[in-house]
């Protein structure tokens, strides 16, 4: 009986991880693994490590090519790896906020992008570019940390705020239906944070064993601010939590890294 329970647990765990892999990225899934889409949000931070790692690798490979090519190509890769899923949500959320409380969800559902959505996209890219420019040689570490915090932010939003749509409605309804509480859903993220901190310490990567934890600030404040203004969260605002947390994390880490270098 215990063996059957363990096998069922492993199958559910692997299925949700596979589901997260193909839902949150365009990366191919190894053959022979059957994805399921129940508790996939908890594994989004693990997918983030892969995405951030590929972004960091490209930044490193482009060293010497100049800052502009590095910024342009890494930002393009970032958008492609996630399939634009979260950027779309960030733009829709901006349009919803601009439309006001009565037309918020209607504006978010509109397939057309409004002026506020375009402005949000521009601001996100500029914040990210500024943060990466300030990080300079430390950008690979910043990319991985920011990607991780960005995927933790929606978990906090799911815990702290109600779902804006009717039960079972919306593309993110399954997150709420299978939610088990913050600690169970956050456990994979905590393991990822511990592992990344240990890796930075083992590689003697300067102060990056703790500097990356600055991303906790936007990962908490962004979902709180959006949830307060919207009165809750939806699939679109979960995506906005990702994008704004990533951008503000990069900028915050970049500013601190630059200030530390200037003081030294």
Model pLDDT for residues 154-211, shown as the tens digit of each residue: 999 999 999 987 765 556 777 777 788 899 999 999 999 999 999 988 886 667 778 8
Task: Please give the full DSSP string across 218-239, using - where no structure is assigned.
Answer: HHHHHHHHHHHHHTSB-HHHHH
C-alpha–C-alpha distance, residues 200 and 209, integer Å: 5
The answer to whether the beta carbons of residues 201 and 213 sit under 8 Å apart is no
pLDDT for position 6: 52
- Per-residue pLDDT at 3 exceeds 70: no
pLDDT for position 70: 97
130 or 99, greater pLDDT? 130
Confidence (pTM) = 0.93
């Amino acid at each position: 009986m215990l063996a059957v329970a363990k096998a069922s647990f492993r199958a559910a765990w692997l299925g949700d991880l596979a589901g997260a892999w193909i839902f949150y990225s365009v990366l191919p899934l190894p053959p022979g693994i059957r994805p399921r889409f129940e508790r996939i949000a908890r594994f989004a931070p693990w997918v983030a490590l892969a995405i951030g790692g590929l972004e960091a690798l490209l930044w490193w490979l482009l060293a010497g090519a100049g800052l502009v090519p590095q910024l342009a190509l890494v930002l393009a890769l970032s958008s492609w790896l996630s399939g634009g899923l979260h950027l779309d949500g960030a733009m829709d959320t901006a349009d919803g906020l601009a439309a006001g409380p009565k037309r918020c969800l209607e504006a978010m559902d509109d397939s057309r992008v409004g002026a506020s959505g375009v402005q949000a996209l521009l601001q996100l890219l500029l914040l990210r570019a500024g943060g990466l420019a300030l990080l300079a040689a430390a950008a690979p570490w910043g990319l991985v940390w920011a990607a991780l915090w960005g995927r933790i932010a929606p978990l906090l939003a799911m815990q702290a705020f109600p779902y804006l749509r009717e039960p079972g409605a919306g593309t993110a309804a399954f997150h709420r239906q299978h939610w088990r509480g913050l600690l169970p859903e956050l456990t994979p993220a905590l393991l990822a944070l511990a592992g990344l901190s240990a890796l930075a310490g083992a590689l003697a990567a300067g102060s990056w064993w703790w500097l990356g934890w600055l991303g906790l600030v936007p990962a908490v404040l962004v979902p709180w601010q959006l949830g307060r203004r919207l009165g809750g969260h939806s699939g679109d605002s979960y995506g906005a939590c990702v994008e704004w947390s990533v951008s503000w994390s990069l900028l915050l880490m970049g500013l601190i890294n630059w200030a530390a270098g200037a003081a030294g």
